Amino acid sequence: MKFAPFVLKHLRRNWIRTLSTVIAMSVCIFLFCTLQTVLASINDMLASTSANRLISRNAVSLVFSLPLSYQSRISAIPGVKRVATTAWFGGSLPAKKEGKADEGADTTTDWSKFFPNMAVEAEPYFAMYPEFEIPPDQYRAFLGDLKGAVIGRKLASKYNWKIGDHFFLESFIPPYRKKDGPFEFTVQAIFDTDPVKHPNTDSNLMLFHFKYLYEATGRTLAAGTYNIEIADASQAGAVSKAIDAAFENSDAQTHTETEQAFTASFISMAGNLAFLLNSIGLAVSFTILLVTANTMSMAVRERRTEIAVLKTLGFSSLQVMGLIVTEAVLLGALGGGLGIGGSQGLMWFLTSTPGIKDMLAGIGLSELHLKPLIGALGFSVSLALGLGAGFVPALNAYRARITDMLRTV
Amino acid sequence: MNAQVEPAQAAAASPAGLMVDVRGVRKVYHRDAQEITVLDGMDLQVPAGEFVALMGPSGSGKTTLLNLIAGIDRPTSGQVVVAGTDVARLSESELARWRSRHVGFIFQFYNLIPVLRAVENVELPLLLTSLSKRERRERALTALKIVGLTDRSGHYPRQLSGGQEQRVAIARAIVGDPSVLVADEPTGDLDAKSAEDILNLMESLNRDFHKTIVMVTHDPRAASRAHVQHHLDKGVLRRD
């Protein structure tokens, strides 16, 4: 501890170099923490999926739909327990208050009020998603109301919605339209999730009757996807193949995969994304290691005389090595702290800025915040980078003979 | 020296009263395949409390001898006993600890740490002791008082003249109350007036505080301040 002022004074000696090294280090840790947080959020989302649920979509793209007639054919395939027709609604709250929503063309869309919402075939859908815990009376009320909506607890808190509240949504992607203005909904049920049994289930979600959307759009609606529950999770591959084989010669071929694989592909091929993000992190970390190592080498080289003096005064080689390593690790710690702070700041900005936070919620990343574990990991990486960068110059100082260092002055 | 920094020579010197006892020392350097013998069977005895000057042309081996006495280099063969310890027998870490207790080194170019104030430079060797922060600071200020630089204690080396820097370096060398002071051309980088001041100070340290001093110099005027002058030429020592 008594050597701390000595180390700190050396760091202040060439403050521009110190500052630039700390900033370089902080950029590295900032990227590391931010990328890892995004990856962790994606993994959380994937973890919330079930192994005994499949999703069947149009083989060409998710943008194209599937005929409604497929439902009964899929249900007949051995191993399939139940099938629910679903369609992504992509609705957003109109900017105008709900009372004026019937003015139709006068309303404008406020994208900051977007949240995930989907039309589902209620009975089979909720039967295969036990993680959505709905009070039985509310569920019954929902089933009896075509315009009824089931919303998650988080969404209810966000807009302060209660059972019986009315609201309007306008669909933009895809652009479903009703002749008489925005779609009207009534909150009939609020679902909760068990944070212990299903820790990653997002309740920032709204679900409503597929039939409502089907009828409101002139009965032209097809299925966006079919959510399928299978009897045996180990048969997921075989059942998927059987479903796709059944529509192999159809106009609309299917592509069936597990819910996890479907979610992964929905958020831009998460598997490859993880590889890409990790590769970027690794490359940046390695570059910063070289930069810091170079800085430390320069710092030690220009202090050869001082190192010789310290040794002459009685500092052991190990103590001199310790001082240099401490200096490097301190650089790492400063950069790490700054990078973690920056990453935390970015997360806060993204999750609290209207528009951005809702867009993130729309793709399931509403829980985007720096986890303590990632912060700790980032800080450890920064310390390791500092240690790695300082080790070789410190070892050289350890080995150097006093007379040699004094002679090269 | 005052009560806080008492002289230690009496306890550190050998039974024969020798502070430095160099016997049959040989020092050989290797440069590529070439072998260069700098010292060849050198003997030197310095009694405790003596002020000795080592003179000689460049390359004569005087700095090498000084480094051996200071324990910052090791002889190829022979014995170097300083303050009762054969320094050649010590391990690297033991030698470092020994240096911190027994040797005060004064460099030609002062070699102060530029980021530290004068008092912090003087305090530096005391970081290796178990003294408290307050005790370290008190001792450093005492050492600065001895060299007449109390009013410059808060200055950085760049804010001091060459003579003042060397005085700070001397304060750093004596702050740990070493058994022996070794000085390598302590006036070599100073003007005549500053050099005179430094030599007066060294004389005072020897006379008033009984410090044993071994000084390497080219300057006959500096050497004349010493009690004994030795001339080195091609590794052979001659006493005047």
Residue B49 contacts residue B10 (beta carbons within 8 Å): no
Flag whether residue A315 sits within 8 Å of chain B, measured between CB atoms. yes
Pair of tokens at residue B18: 């020798």
The pLDDT of residue B36 is 87
pTM (two decimals): 0.69
Flag whether residue B90 sits within 8 Å of chain A, measured between CB atoms. no
Nearest CA in chain A to B173: A313
Q: Which of the residues B92, B106, B168, B184 would you substitute to probe the A interface, choosing the one with the greatest number of A C-beta atoms within 10 Å?
A: B92
Nearest CA in chain B to A398: B92
Instruction: Average the pLDDT over each of A152-156, A162-166, A312-316, B16-20 and give the range with the smallest value.
Output: B16-20
The alpha-helical segments, DSSP class H, found in B47-149 are: 62-70, 92-102, 118-123, 133-146
Residue B72 is nearest to which of A3, A13, A403, comparing CB atoms? A403
Q: Which of A219-223, A368-372, B78-82 has the highest mean pLDDT?
A: B78-82
Mean pLDDT of A17-26: 90
Packing angle of the helix pair A372-399, A317-352 (nearest 10 deg): 160
Instruction: Average the pLDDT over each of A22-26, A258-262, B96-100, B178-182 and give the range with the smallest value.
Output: A258-262
Chain B residues near residue A327 by CB distance under 8 angstroms = none
The pLDDT of residue A373 is 92
Residue B8 has pLDDT above 50, yes or no: no
Flag whether residue A353 sits within 8 Å of chain B, measured between CB atoms. no
Contact B111 A311 (CB under 8 A): no
Contact A312 B99 (CB under 8 A): yes
The pLDDT of residue A44 is 75
Flag whether residue B96 sits within 8 Å of chain A, measured between CB atoms. yes
Q: Which residue has the higher pLDDT, A296 or B76?
A: B76
pLDDT tier for residue A186 given thresholds of 50, 70 and 90: very high
Flag whether residue A309 sits within 8 Å of chain B, measured between CB atoms. yes
pLDDT tier for residue A122 given thresholds of 50, 70 and 90: very high
Q: Which residue has the higher pLDDT, A290 or A135?
A: A135
- Provide DSSP, A333-380: HHHHHHHHHHHHHHHHHHHHSTTHHHHHHHTT-TT----HHHHHHHHH
Residue A142 contacts residue A150 (beta carbons within 8 Å): yes
**Size of the A and B interface in Cβ pairs below 8 Å:** 67
Q: What is the pLDDT of residues A45-104, one digit of tens each?
A: 766 666 789 999 999 988 889 999 999 999 999 999 999 999 988 888 875 444 444 444
Mean pLDDT of A99-121: 64
Q: What is the pLDDT of residues A340-394, one digit of tens each?
A: 999 999 988 888 887 777 677 666 676 778 889 999 999 999 999 889 888 988 9
Contact A316 B101 (CB under 8 A): no
The pLDDT of residue A388 is 87
Q: Which residue has the higher pLDDT, A101 or A14?
A: A14
Q: What angle do CA A392, A393, A398 make, to 5 degrees?
A: 95
Q: Which amino acid is at B142?
A: T
Mean pLDDT of B69-85: 93
Mean pLDDT of A5-26: 87
Contact B109 A409 (CB under 8 A): yes
Show Cβ contacts of residue B159 under 8 Å, excluding neighbours closer than 6 positions.
B152
